[in-house]
Structure formats: structure tokens, C-alpha cells
Chains A and B, each alone.
Chain A
Amino acid sequence: MKVLIAEDDLSSRKFLYKFLSQYGECDLVVDGLEALDAFLISLKEHQPYDLICLDIMMPKVDGVKVLKHIKDLETQKGIIPEKRSKIIMTTALAETQIVQNAFEIGCDAYAAKPIDTTKFIEVLKKLGLIE
């Protein structure tokens, strides 16, 4: 599995990296612009991410806007739904309007911080990313 972790907070970033590295190769970025760069490179190299974890309150471009751009790019490139990256939003916010917006745009799941690994594994299984 190829994973992109977009997370500005160092401790959360380290935690997700350590946790998700057991399931595959992880790339790390610290803001929304870098996340878009990494996504565009993955498309260019024909090596898309299976999973993208997007923090919502990220510097420069927030996670929800990044999500919107990813979805738009996937549509523009004609990527079929089954081949699209699964996207999990991560945030310390509760289920507020911005989280609802993320679901309306098409994120696959939402993980509240601090992340509960048992629940996270369940979500990965549900999304068909791990068995």
C-alpha cells in the first residue's frame, strides 16, 4: 500500500508514520500545498496513493480544500472510482461544519485526534486497504 500523510503537527505526523509504515510505504508532507504537490507527482509518475490522510487545519491550504482539488483532478483525469485514492480526514476538531463539508466532497472516513488505532484499523479494513 502506498500512503500519503499530510499532517502539520510533528507528534501526530510521527505517530501516523510509525503506525501506517507497517502496512506500506509512507510519504510525509506538512502542509496543504505540499500535499497537492505530492499528489500531482504521484499522478505524473502513474503511482497513485492508495491512502491519503489529510489533516483539516493544515497551513496554507486546508485539508478540505486539498480533498476538493484531489477529487477534481481524479475526475479530470478520468480515474475510475475503484482506482481512486481512499481519503481519511484527521482532525482534533469535533464533527463540525468543516468535517461535514469534507464528507459532502467525498472523503471516505474521518478520524478524530488523538487517533484510536483500533478504530483506525477497522476503517482501513472497511475501505479494503488491509485484510
Chain B
Amino acid sequence: MGLRILDRKEQLTLTAIEIIDELGIQNLTTRQIAKRQEISEATLFRHFKNKKELLASVLDYFVQFDADILHSTKLHNLTPTQALVYLISSYAEYYENYPAISSILQIYNFLLYEEELADKMKEIQNNRTSAIQQMIEEAKLAGEISGNVDSNMVAVMITGFFREICFNWKTSNYEFSLSDRLLKTLELLLNALHD
């Protein structure tokens, strides 16, 4: 009932996320999305001219809170490492309560070969990595971690373990707490980087 009052584009985007989570990106077809929405493919194409445009909408939806989460780390007056913990725990909590959205993290490799989508995906990845890199730089200046570490390498490590742990979480059928695992791994890394 509630789904019906959303605009059609949003309904189609949510259904695409649901299918990616259940069947994988390789099995996402416009026919299947239309079928689940009980509309014709022609109706779908009135809202998205092709599957690429629909996937671009999925990516926009996927990052819809990025700016607000990042801005919150600044407004909360946290130390750099506290800000990093806040950032990771915000995503972890959101994904934990909406497991389907974490599946979008796993479609990067597939999108790499789709020209326009690859650029969009790289931009998302770069923005997230840069935000973390900035926090690592600030943590170095504040003496919270060693001044000798390469902040870009650490940021890549963090985005890497984040994605890998989300993948393990999904393949384990969500049997462990995503927040706990991510925050413990982050703590381990930050401790190792301490002077």
C-alpha cells in the first residue's frame, strides 16, 4: 500500500535494489523489475530510458546520506578518530537495518565495465576514500596515530575491509553483528597505527 504512493521512479529503484540483493546484479533485468512492479517494460522505459539510467538511480540512492553523515562528523565536535568511528558506525547501523542496500557495495566490479556508471562509481569511491583520508590526516596531526603512515593507504585499507566484512556478513547469512565486526576491525587498525 505504502509503495504505491511513492513516485514510480522511486518504486523502480527500490525494486532494483531488492533484485540485486536477492539474485545478483548479473540477473537484474528490466523485464524482471517491471514484472515485480506489475507494469509493462514500456512503462518502465517511460521513467528510465535504459537499464544504465536505472542503475545510476540505484547509485544515487546508495549514497543519499553520504553528505549528511560526513557533515555530522564535523558538527558533532569529535576528535579525528572518534569521527572515523562515528562514520563507520553510521553506515554499519544503516546497512545492518537494511541489508539489501549493502549489496550495492558488491557491484563495483560489474560496473567497472559500464562506461558512464564506472565514472559514477569511481566518484563515489573516491569521495568516500578522500573523506576517510582527511580524517586520518587530522588524526596524525592530533597525534592520535603515527605521523609516519600514508593516509591514502590507510583510507584504502578501511574502505577495503569495510566492503570485505559486508560481503562476509551477507555470505554468512547475517549471522554476526556487522557493527561489532567493523568497529573491532577499525579499532585493531587504529591501535596498530598508534606510536
Q: Specify the chain B residue showing the minimal Cβ separation from A73.
A: B5
Per the bound structure, the CA–CA distance linking A8 and B97 in Å amounts to 6
Could you name 24 residue pairs across A and B whose Cβ atoms are closer than 8 Å? A8-B94, A30-B97, A31-B98, A35-B2, A36-B2, A36-B3, A39-B2, A40-B5, A57-B65, A57-B93, A58-B97, A59-B98, A61-B6, A61-B10, A62-B64, A92-B90, A93-B65, A93-B68, A93-B69, A95-B75, A96-B67, A96-B68, A97-B68, A98-B68
Question: A1-30: contact bitstring with B at CB < 8 Å (1 yes, 0 no)?
Answer: 000000011000000000000000000001
Q: Is B76 an interface residue (CB 8 A)?
A: yes
Total chain A interface residues with beta-carbon distance under 8 A? 30
B75 touches A96 (CB 8 A): yes
Binding site for B on A (CB under 8 A): 8-9, 30-37, 39-41, 57-62, 65, 69, 73, 92-99
Looking at the assembled complex, report how far the CB atom of B67 sits from the nearest CB atom of chain A, in whole angstroms: 7
Total chain B interface residues with beta-carbon distance under 8 A? 24
B5 touches A69 (CB 8 A): yes
Across the interface, which residues of B come within 8 angstroms of A97, CB to CB?
67-68, 71
Q: Is B101 an interface residue (CB 8 A)?
A: yes
3 tightest A-B contacts by CB? A36-B2, A59-B98, A94-B75
Per the bound structure, the CA–CA distance linking A62 and B90 in Å amounts to 15
Per the bound structure, the CA–CA distance linking A31 and B98 in Å amounts to 9
Across the interface, which residues of A come within 8 angstroms of B14, CB to CB?
60-61
